[in-house]
């Protein structure tokens, strides 16, 4: 192979060298597993790739349980994402626009859940909202109701809080970066032109942070789809990650697991591509 | 339009005093310039009028009405920024109509007024463009149109020409100056460029360390500075040390008459144009700077002090030449050393 002689050629070589680890990782941790999953889903035999069959795909399309899981996964992840991004906008706004006492402590508190495994988040939900939970018993004392009736850790509501708790820091991280780019002078111009703080946010700030909101939505939604530990412990709703675990661990049905995994991965890739189109389109009016 | 008054405005951030007892009046229809070095309180003063800073002490009035604690959106103030601060997600026309929309002006009326202003500022053909695609000069015109659209009590311009190239700055300076006169707008023009302020403003306030050093017309500030700071900040001044006694000031190399009977050590401020060649004082040329129509000479006087003086651009002087210098006593200013304010009138 000839050595590069021009700066342009040397730059190309640097790009190739720097991107190589990513392509190796993408191939062996992404592309190859996808091919294996596709083969697995079309296998005639369980637990081994032998023969060809569309049975798993047929089951995925015809059996109502899989439609229900898909629906549960989508609405639950969407709802948790919308709430998390909305909270992320509020938190980023407060952190970026105001001078707060102990700001570093606040940032640490907000970002802390990102480091927690889903199982720990589920445990925290039980500690707070379970039958013996702090919040449950405090409300029970206050209202005179039964703590058993009030317990919500293993309900959809408890699971939802656990999801939101894990997702808010992810949304906030992306949005804080976007907020730092907002032209504060333009916001001041809007105020001087008669816009109230809310109107300024709606007409000036929101359009500017819109790409960040879309980016936060993409990241948070993908994270929401991938959450496993929390839902494994709380078991409040049948979602796709839980079902894959069930198909492999309980049913030993690797064909169905492969088919679900493939659909899941392709959906995520398509969703990311569609979402990124919105991120790059900055000239949008609200 | 309104008369804007700042009364004993003081603004403190922690231990830092940004504005220290500023009293200023922007008269109805006039353009008042604020000049001063970086950190002197120019922008804080402007932001206090806009309502983005609440003064620690003092008050702001518009036509006698106290607006000190009125939020920015209720002050009816137009703001033009150095960075343009246009709404980049809106077209030029929507930028200009924004303030009118906030005032619930009908869509037809908004469009009509925006188009009139865009026409006036010679950017009508850019109405449907995105501001990000415009040049700096065009963006600043849009910013001006947006601020004028609401017919503000006062138009506040914060270094609007900084960042533009020299030629465009000159053209825009003339255009904006004419426009402000034509529309009879009450305006505050903050700039660090004294020449810009002199060209555009009816009166100028010189700020230093959060205090107003002098307010007056461009000519009075240039010709009758009230202290050494103004003398050196506005234009170029040679500061010479002398001793006043018996109605005379001894500068070491020459004497000046002092009919104000100052005594003791004084500082004499003289502009470069107050020196001329062909005088009795022998001075040595240290350096020459060719500036087209004129040439600046750095010359060393017999007492060792150095001054800057101006000669015709075609004059042929080189470093080391000995020239005869004289000082025109008519326009020099005399400040007793150690006292900030000028105590003498013109010689």
All domains of chain A in start order, with CATH: 64-280 (1.10.3720.10)
Q: What is the mean pLDDT of residues A50-74?
A: 93
In three-state form (DSSP H/G/I as H, E/B as E, the rest C), the secondary structure along A197-248 is HHHHHHHHHHHHHHHHHHHHHHHHHHHHHHCCHHHHHHCCCCCHHHHHHHHH
Residue length, chain B? 347
Q: What DSSP element (H or E) covers A60? A: helix A55-62
**Are B71 and A282 inside 8 Å of each other by CB?**
no
Residue ranges making up the domain that contains B16: 4-228
Q: Is B7 helix (H, G, I), strand (E, B) or coil?
A: strand
Last residue of one domain, picked from the residues B211, B228, B245: B228
Are B253 and B330 contained in the same domain?
Answer: yes
Question: CA of A283 to nearest chain B CA: how many angstroms apart?
Answer: 5
| Residues of chain A neighbouring B143 (CB-CB closer than 8 A) | 189
Chain A residue closest to B94 (CA)?
Answer: A285
Kindly state whether residue B314 falls inside one of the protein's structural domains: yes
Kindly state whether residue B322 falls inside one of the protein's structural domains: yes
Question: CA of B304 to nearest chain A CA: how many angstroms apart?
Answer: 50
Are B160 and B279 contained in the same domain?
Answer: no
**B342: Cβ contacts below 8 Å, ≥ 6 apart:** B224, B225, B226, B227, B333, B334, B335
Are B253 and B287 contained in the same domain?
Answer: yes
Distances (CA, A) of A94 to A43, A107, A169, B118: 54, 11, 14, 37
Question: CA of A186 to nearest chain B CA: how many angstroms apart?
Answer: 4
Instruction: Give pLDDT tens digits for B68-84.
Output: 999 999 999 999 999 99
The model carries a pTM of 0.81
Neighbour tally for A50: CB within 10 Å: 10
* Nearest-CB residue to B85 (from A186, A199, A285): A186
* Nearest-CB residue to A185 (from B85, B94, B99): B85
For chain A, the residues whose C-beta falls within 8 A of a C-beta of chain B are: 183, 185-186, 188-196, 199, 203-204, 207-208, 210, 282-286
Instruction: Give pLDDT tens digits for B209-240.
Output: 999 999 999 999 999 999 999 999 998 899 98
CATH number for the domain harbouring residue B255: 2.40.50.140
Are B141 and B16 contained in the same domain?
Answer: yes
How many domains is chain B built from?
A: 2
Instruction: Give pLDDT tens digits for A169-211.
Output: 999 999 999 998 899 999 999 999 999 999 999 999 999 999 8
* Nearest-CB residue to A283 (from B50, B89, B98): B89
Chain B residue closest to A196 (CA)?
Answer: B73
Question: CA of A220 to nearest chain B CA: how many angstroms apart?
Answer: 25
ipTM of the complex: 0.85
What does the pLDDT read at residue B203?
A: 96
pLDDT band at A241 (very low <50, low <70, confident <90, very high): very high
Q: Over chain B, what is the mean pLDDT?
A: 90
B72 touches chain A (CB under 8 A): yes
Tokens of B180: 């402000």
* Nearest-CB residue to B102 (from A195, A282, A283): A195
Whose tokens are 């570093």? That residue is A104
* Cβ-contact A228, A242 below 8 angstroms: yes
What does the pLDDT read at residue B347?
A: 27
CATH number for the domain harbouring residue B47: 3.40.50.300
Q: Over chain A, what is the mean pLDDT?
A: 90
What is the sign, positive or negative, of the torsion defined by CA atoms of B312, B318, B319, B325? negative
B71 touches chain A (CB under 8 A): yes
Are B191 and B222 contained in the same domain?
Answer: yes
């Amino acid at each position: 192979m000839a050595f590069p002689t021009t700066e342009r050629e040397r730059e190309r070589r640097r790009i190739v060298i720097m991107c190589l680890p990513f392509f190796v990782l993408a191939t062996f941790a992404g592309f190859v597993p996808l091919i294996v999953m596709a083969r697995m889903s079309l296998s005639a035999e369980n637990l081994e790739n032998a023969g060809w069959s569309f049975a798993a795909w047929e089951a995925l399309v015809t059996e109502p349980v899989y439609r229900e899981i898909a629906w549960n996964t989508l609405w639950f992840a969407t709802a948790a994402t919308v709430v998390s991004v909305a909270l992320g906008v509020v938190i980023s706004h407060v952190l970026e626009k105001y001078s707060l006492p102990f700001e570093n402590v606040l940032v640490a508190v907000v970002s802390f859940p990102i480091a927690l495994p889903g199982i720990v988040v589920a445990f925290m939900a039980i500690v707070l909202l379970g039958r013996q939970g702090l919040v449950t018993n405090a409300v029970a004392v206050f209202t005179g109701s039964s703590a058993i009736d009030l317990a919500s850790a293993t309900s959809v509501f408890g699971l939802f809080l656990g999801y939101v708790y894990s997702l808010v820091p992810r949304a906030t991280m992306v949005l804080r970066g976007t907020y730092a780019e907002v032209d504060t002078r333009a916001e001041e111009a809007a105020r001087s032109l008669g816009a109230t703080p809310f109107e300024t946010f709606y007409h000036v700030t929101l359009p500017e942070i819109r790409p960040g909101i879309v980016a936060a939505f993409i990241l948070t939604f993908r994270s929401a789809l991938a959450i496993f530990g929390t839902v494994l412990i709380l078991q409040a709703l049948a979602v796709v990650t839980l079902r894959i675990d069930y198909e492999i661990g309980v049913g030993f049905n690797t064909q169905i697991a492969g088919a679900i995994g493939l659909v899941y991965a392709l959906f995520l890739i398509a969703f990311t591509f569609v979402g990124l189109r919105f991120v790059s389109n900055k000239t949008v009016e609200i | 339009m309104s008369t804007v008054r700042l009364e004993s405005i003081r603004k403190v951030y922690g231990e830092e005093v940004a504005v220290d007892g500023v009293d200023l009046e922007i008269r109805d229809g006039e353009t008042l310039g604020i000049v001063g070095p970086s950190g002197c309180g120019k922008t804080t003063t402007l932001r206090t009028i806009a309502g983005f800073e609440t003064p620690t002490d003092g008050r702001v009035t518009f036509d006698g009405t106290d607006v000190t604690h009125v939020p920015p959106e209720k002050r009816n103030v137009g703001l033009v920024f150095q960075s343009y601060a246009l709404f980049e997600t809106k077209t030029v026309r929507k930028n200009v109509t924004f303030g009118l929309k906030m005032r619930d002006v009908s869509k037809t009326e908004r469009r009509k007024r925006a188009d009139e202003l865009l026409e006036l500022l010679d950017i009508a053909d850019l109405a449907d463009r995105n501001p990000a695609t415009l040049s700096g000069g065009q963006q600043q015109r849009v910013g001006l149109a947006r601020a004028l659209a609401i017919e503000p009590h006062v138009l506040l311009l914060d270094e609007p020409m900084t960042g533009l190239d020299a030629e465009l700055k000159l053209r825009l300076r003339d255009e904006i100056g004419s426009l402000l006169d034509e529309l009879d707008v009450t305006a505050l023009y903050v700039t660090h460029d004294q020449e810009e302020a002199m060209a555009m403003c009816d009166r100028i306030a010189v700020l230093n360390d959060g205090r107003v050093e002098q307010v007056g017309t461009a000519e009075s500030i240039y010709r009758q500075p009230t202290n050494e700071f103004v003398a050196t900040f506005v234009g170029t001044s040679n500061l010479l040390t002398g001793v006043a006694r018996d109605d005379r000031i001894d500068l070491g190399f020459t004497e000046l008459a002092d009919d104000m009977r100052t005594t003791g050590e004084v500082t004499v401020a003289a502009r470069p144009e107050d020196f001329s060649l062909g005088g009795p004082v022998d001075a040595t040329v240290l350096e020459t700077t060719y500036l087209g129509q004129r040439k600046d000479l750095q010359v060393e006087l017999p007492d060792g002090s150095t001054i800057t003086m101006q000669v015709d651009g075609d004059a042929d002087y080189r470093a080391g030449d000995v020239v005869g210098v004289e000082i025109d006593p008519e326009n020099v200013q005399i400040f007793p050393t150690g006292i900030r304010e000028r105590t003498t009138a013109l010689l």
